[in-house]
Structure 1
Amino acid sequence: MLTKLKSLQKHSGFMRYFKNTSWLLGEKILRMVVGLFVGIWVARYLGPEQFGLFSYAQSFVGLFAAIATLGLDGIVIRELVKDESRRDELIGTAFWLKLMGAFAVLLILAIAVNFTSNDHATNIIVFIVAGATVFQAFNVVDFYFQSKVLSKYIVYANVISLFFSSVVKIALILNEAPLVAFAWVVLFDSFVLALGYIYFYIRNRHCERSEAIQQTTVIASKAKQSILSLTFNKSIAVGLLKDSWPLILSGIVVSIYMKIDQVMIMQMLDTNAVGQYAAAVRISEAWYFIPMVVASSLFPAIINAKKQSEELYYTRLQRLYDLMVWMAIAIALPMTFLSDWIVNLLYGGQYHEAGSVLMIHIWAGVFVFLGVASGKWFVSENLQILAFWRTFSGMAMNVILNFILIPKYGVNGAAVATLISYSVAGFLFDYFNAKTRKVFFMKLDTINLRRLL
């Protein structure tokens, strides 16, 4: 084992990807800890009603945010890896497409708010939050660094943004700022992050040019390049959109799936109910980074096993499912019994309804963990279209159940709707297709204690 570890340390390719993954993992953990701490402080300060209104505004914008991304992320990274010589045109074209997508979101929101019961103050907060999508166009720089396996620069930018965001939020709390100030912080976060992306992109490009000059001893006569020199190429834009339209559709479905519950609670109940629900969900979903990190780390070994034999491939996949389920149960069990105490400790007595929501919602994590792991399998088996339909089925189930359960059971009904819809998408859907039925029984087998013993 020690010999193998030493050989891996000497393997430049492995260490490059290991360091890149470590940077991303470290940033996610830091963001979770700091974000949860500051987020809870903000929730305590605002109280259920104002926090509910703030959460509703973010969820309402989130319903349409996928339009701004245009599903370009993975497509652009793929093209950058294939042909780096087209870098400036690819990044420039993606930037302008995303910027157009952001303004499309603002236009759609201007129409959509007319079909809600929002008052003028609520709509102002919605549009301030939505303004952040404009600056998110600058995350095309992230594509460049991902293609170069240099995610540390993106981590730098994110940590800087997180620091300033946290300081500003704490200052607002200490100075007893109004709710609208916290909406402006969302916009400020995106602006600072965009500045960070621009800085590290220009800095890295300058270093690349310096290295090229040292290696070739030739001084280029080109004008100094910057983020502003990135150009739009119509043919590249058409090609990117042809490849990304299924991902745009998937992104919209996922956005509705993840955000619709708080929007429906607002329309059917009130802001206080949204605040109670959002407080519980913040704790429940804080764990969702774990399956993403574990699946990303272990799935390459599962893919390699397929080259050796199908039996080894599915044996390792079964172990991944086992690990996912029992990690989720290990989180859900104590949270179930301690939910009221945890909510009271973190949020105070004003969020008295959040404990029962957390007790139900935390069990959705079992199916989220399974869904993330099986999602990798869908990609491995080239079954992306089925992956879309399973997400769509979960979204449809969530909307239908929210309509039925929220009027009868309030925020607890929304939590039950989430739990059932996640179980449909992450587990039951696989039974109804011959190509995925084997995976359904593998997931079912994870709770076979006799097999594990």
Structure 2
Amino acid sequence: MSRQLLRNSFSGLSGMALHKLVHLVTMIVLARMLGAEQFGIYAFVGAMVFFFGFLTDLGMERVLTRELSAKPHEARVLLGTALWLRLGLGFLAAGIGALVGWVLALDRVTFVCLVLALATLPFGFDLLARAYFQSRLEIRHYYRITLAGSATFLLLVGLCWWWQGSVVAVFALGLANALLFSALFLRAVLLRVGISPFAELGRARSLLREGFQIGLLALLFMTALRVDQILLFQLRGAEEAGQYAAAVRLTEALGMFSEAVMLSLFPLLAASHRSNPKAFRHRYQLGFRYLAATGTLLALACSYLAPDLLQVVFGQKYAAAWPAAVFLSWNLLLSYLGAVYVNVFLIECWYRLLLLVSALSVAVNIAFNLLWIPAYGSAGAAAATLLSSAVGFASWFVFPATRSVLVDCVRSSAPAITAGVLSACVGVALLQWRGTHFALLSLILYVVLLVAVGGLARSDLRRLYASSPSVPG
């Protein structure tokens, strides 16, 4: 691989890790500062804006990155067209979001927070910067601004805590911070390439048409990730939604490992898809094996330590959400496996199947959230999420095109899951279900069993990179 490509990959990996770390610290500070009820409002508004953010992108970013990579001489026109699309769609999304908030008859504080958050949507110029710097293999410039913005928001949240500000103050400061760093993103692009002040209608149609399928798939994923928080807020109130949000943030932070692995594995898969099908299959099998091993380890650890982790990290008020954290930790394992096979299916261009299965999973998620949240609260929401992921996973066996990949997934992940089940059974038989000492002994037993059943092999990584393609510098 060329030095530039390696440096760009390292910059992307380290930048993403630092950004997620700062975000997690910010969530911890907010949870402790606001308390469960106001943190529930923060999580609900964030989930709502998460949905409407889809309308400002519509999957354009990946298409824009591809076009900028293939046609760097047309960058000014492409970026100018994307800028006007972003502004127009952003104002449209903000208006629709405010209307939905009014229809839902939100209380005054929640509605004001929603409006402040929606006001950031038209000015999300980070899309332009990310697409441009990705196409130039200079992603470090994007993450410099992103990390500065995240750190500044964390500082503002700390000042708000010092001043004993409310959740409304947090959103007001967040809006000011977003506008400032959106301007810096725009300036960074203008200084390097410039942006045309005009939009080309033909290019706009092309960006929207090609990006829509990817964008719709992203919307379904976002729905699966956030709809439980919205329904829990509406059905059980802000306090329980805030407790559940802590469990969600804890398990989402652990999802960073699969993203980091796929950042390196995806280019290897894409490069060998046509040229070396045998290497392609071996690489995604290794992805299944090692992400299953890691996901099972994390799921076991969260199952044992969820009450203590929530209490230590977020505070005593959030420990009540530990059953939800246990369900979500096992959903994390399915997410780890999905990180591999979804990317394989994207490389194969099976968009319609992805949309179909995603829609089925979302329908199951919403139906069981509505059924279980009134009875079981946050635990019911988490259980519905786990069930919908399991249904989505199982449904891939129905299609002949995807069945072989899922069979490989089951075979590759079987050693890790077997070791996890055995270690849990032995641990429960000998010790109590909870406690740090029990968790440590059970996890050590899991690793020993994993090696014994062949779930780890040092030769795998050498085989993975032995046939890696070289990239011209």
Check whether TM > 0.5: yes
Distance in 2, matches of 1:303 and 1:246, equals 20
Distance in 1, matches of 2:106 and 2:287, equals 45
Distance in 2, matches of 1:290 and 1:434, equals 30
Q: CA deviation at 1:408?
A: 1.3
Corresponding residue to 1:185 among 162, 170, 173:
173
Contact 2:64 2:131 in 1 (8 A): yes
Q: Deviations over 1:384-412 (max 9, x none)?
A: 22122222221111111101111111110
Correspondence for 1:284: 251
Query: Does 2:403 correspond to 1:437?
Result: yes
Correspondence for 1:92: 80
Query: Does 2:54 correspond to 1:66?
Result: yes
Correspondence for 2:188: 200
Contact 1:56 1:262 in 2 (8 A): yes
Distance change in 2, residues 1:174/1:313 (3 Å):
same
The more displaced of 128-137 and 112-121 is 112-121
The more displaced of 85-94 and 136-145 is 136-145
Correspondence for 1:209: none
Q: Deviations over 1:101-128 (max 9, x none)?
A: 1111122123212332411221111110
Q: CA deviation at 1:309?
A: 5.0
Correspondence for 1:110: 98
Identity score, percent: 24
The more displaced of 190-199 and 174-183 is 190-199
Correspondence for 2:469: none
Q: Deviations over 1:324-363 (max 9, x none)?
A: 1111111111111011011111122111312221121111
Query: Does 2:145 correspond to 1:145?
Result: no
Q: CA deviation at 1:429?
A: 2.1
Give 3-state SS (helix, strand or coil) of 1:362's partner. Answer: helix
Query: Does 2:383 correspond to 1:416?
Result: yes
Count of matched residue pairs: 419
Q: CA deviation at 1:304?
A: 4.5
Contact 1:321 1:370 in 2 (8 A): yes
Correspondence for 1:254: 221
Give 3-state SS (helix, strand or coil) of 1:177's partner. Answer: coil
Contact 2:293 2:455 in 1 (8 A): no
Correspondence for 1:44: 32
Correspondence for 1:389: 356
Corresponding residue to 1:272 among 228, 239, 248:
239
Q: CA deviation at 1:451?
A: 5.9
Which amino acid in structure 2 is aligned with residue 323 of structure 1? Y
Query: Does 2:331 correspond to 1:343?
Result: no
Distance in 2, matches of 1:193 and 1:167, equals 14
Corresponding residue to 1:324 among 249, 267, 291:
291
Which amino acid in structure 1 is aligned with residue 239 of structure 2? N
Alignment root-mean-square deviation, CA: 1.8
Distance in 2, matches of 1:87 and 1:312, equals 35
Correspondence for 1:32: 20
Query: Does 2:102 correspond to 1:135?
Result: no
The runs of 4+ residues in structure 1 deviating greater than 4 Å are: 303-309
Give 3-state SS (helix, strand or coil) of 1:122's partner. Answer: helix
Q: CA deviation at 1:69?
A: 0.9
Correspondence for 1:216: none
Correspondence for 1:3: none
Correspondence for 1:400: 367
Contact 2:13 2:263 in 1 (8 A): no
Distance change in 2, residues 1:300/1:63 (3 Å):
closer
Corresponding residue to 1:367 among 329, 334, 339:
334
Which amino acid in structure 1 is aligned with residue 161 of structure 2? I
Q: Deviations over 1:211-238 (max 9, x none)?
A: xxxxxxxxxxxxxxx55x5321112112
Distance in 1, matches of 2:71 and 2:333, equals 40
Correspondence for 1:211: none
Distance change in 2, residues 1:181/1:265 (3 Å):
same
Contact 1:66 1:248 in 2 (8 A): yes
Distance in 2, matches of 1:230 and 1:157, equals 24
Distance change in 2, residues 1:390/1:185 (3 Å):
farther
Which amino acid in structure 2 is aligned with residue 326 of structure 1? A
Correspondence for 1:448: 414
Q: CA deviation at 1:303?
A: 4.3
Which amino acid in structure 1 is aligned with residue 407 of structure 2? F
Contact 2:34 2:167 in 1 (8 A): yes
Q: CA deviation at 1:26?
A: 1.2
The more displaced of 382-391 and 93-102 is 382-391
Q: CA deviation at 1:255?
A: 2.4
The more displaced of 393-402 and 253-262 is 253-262
Contact 2:98 2:118 in 1 (8 A): no
Q: CA deviation at 1:306?
A: 4.6
Corresponding residue to 1:55 among 17, 37, 43:
43
Distance in 2, matches of 1:403 and 1:436, equals 31
Distance in 2, matches of 1:170 and 1:246, equals 40
The more displaced of 83-92 and 194-203 is 194-203
Which amino acid in structure 2 is aligned with residue 446 of structure 1? S
The more displaced of 129-138 and 405-414 is 129-138
Q: CA deviation at 1:448?
A: 2.9
Distance change in 2, residues 1:202/1:56 (3 Å):
same
Q: Deviations over 1:261-289 (max 9, x none)?
A: 11100111100010010011001000222
Distance in 1, matches of 2:95 and 2:335, equals 33
Contact 2:117 2:171 in 1 (8 A): yes
Distance change in 2, residues 1:93/1:183 (3 Å):
same
Distance in 1, matches of 2:203 and 2:305, equals 54
Distance change in 2, residues 1:265/1:74 (3 Å):
same
